[in-house]
Amino acid sequence: MTGKAVVVLSGGQDSTTALWWAVDKFGAGNVEALTYDYGQRHRVEIGCAARIAAAAGVPQTVLPINTFEALGGNALTDANIAIDNGRSGDLPATFVPGRNLIFLTYAAAWAWPKKIRHLVTGVAQTDYSGYPDCRRNTIDALATALSLGMDFEFTIHTPLMEMSKKDTVLLAQRLGALDAMALTHTCYEGERPPCGKCQACELRAKGFREAGIEDPLVVA
């Protein structure tokens, strides 16, 4: 693809795979990574993202978001709320309402003065945790709102949208991103090496197991 792209890079497995996808499609010289410092429970993610961007050979920008903590009361930003290792009610306990809407809107606002039209995110609607702002229809509606709201045609690329964790691992392998997986962070408990017991670790392990590939993070 021609043009330039910005990848929302959290430092996790999926956004890292999405970054390698973008480098493959646009070329490393046309890709930038954007990471948010939003008061996440595990700040280790931000350093992971920096090392991952460096490994991909793309510049990284960290943007601060202090609003989520002020909104309050969710597990990913509030260390006082225990992680519910599953789901409470219809949504996971780690749900920050609209988090991906905010991430992508800021990505567009950051891309706009640079005339970057392509936004890339690692969200997926399959196999995962049921965040409604990761779904195809949400992302499509947001792309419309962003394009109209900034008078500039954005495309939101979601290369992992329909993939199982297994498929994501196989995609990472095909893109040469497996080594970078050792740099990612997944564990909800914030442990490195990962705890292996939380829901996030279990999902990740299942994906690598089904793909028949050893997880470089666990091997490391």
Q: Is 89 in the site for a second copy (CB under 8 A)?
A: no
18 touches 168 (CB < 8 A): no
Q: Is 105 in the site for a second copy (CB under 8 A)?
A: yes
CA nearest 49: which of 60, 39, 38? 60
Applying CB under 8 A, which part among 12-20, 46-54, 101-109, 162-170 lies near a second copy? 101-109
Considering only 101, 182, 205, 213, the residue that binds a second copy (CB under 8 A) is 101
Considering only 150, 195, 203, 205, the residue that binds a second copy (CB under 8 A) is 150
82 touches 189 (CB < 8 A): no
| Cβ distance to a second copy smaller for residue 8 or 23 | 8
Considering only 65, 161, 170, 203, the residue that binds a second copy (CB under 8 A) is 65
| Cβ distance to a second copy smaller for residue 2 or 66 | 66
9 touches 49 (CB < 8 A): yes
Q: Is 73 in the site for a second copy (CB under 8 A)?
A: yes
Rounded Cα distance, 116 and 157, in Å: 13
Considering only 106, 128, 191, 203, the residue that binds a second copy (CB under 8 A) is 106
Q: Is 100 in the site for a second copy (CB under 8 A)?
A: yes
What is the Cβ-side half-sphere exposure of residue 57, based on CA atoms within 13 angstroms? 10
Q: Please, what is the minimum distance in Å from the beta carbon of residue 131 to a second copy?
A: 9
List, as one string, the DSSP characters of 71-120. H---TTT-TTSPP-SSEETTEETT--TTHHHHHHHHHHHHHGGGT--EEE
Q: Is 160 exposed, middle or buried (0-12, 13-18, 19+ CB in 10 A)?
A: buried
Question: What is the x/- site pattern for a second copy, positions 156-195, by CB under 8 A?
Answer: ----------------------------------------
User: Quick one: tokens of 115?
Assistant: 């005339």
Report how far Cα 142 is from the mean position of its chain's Cα atoms: 17
Considering only 91, 161, 170, 218, the residue that binds a second copy (CB under 8 A) is 91
**Which positions touch a second copy (CB under 8 A)?**
63-67, 70-71, 73, 90-91, 96-98, 100-102, 105-106, 108-110, 112-113, 132-133, 135, 137-138, 141-142, 144-146, 148-151
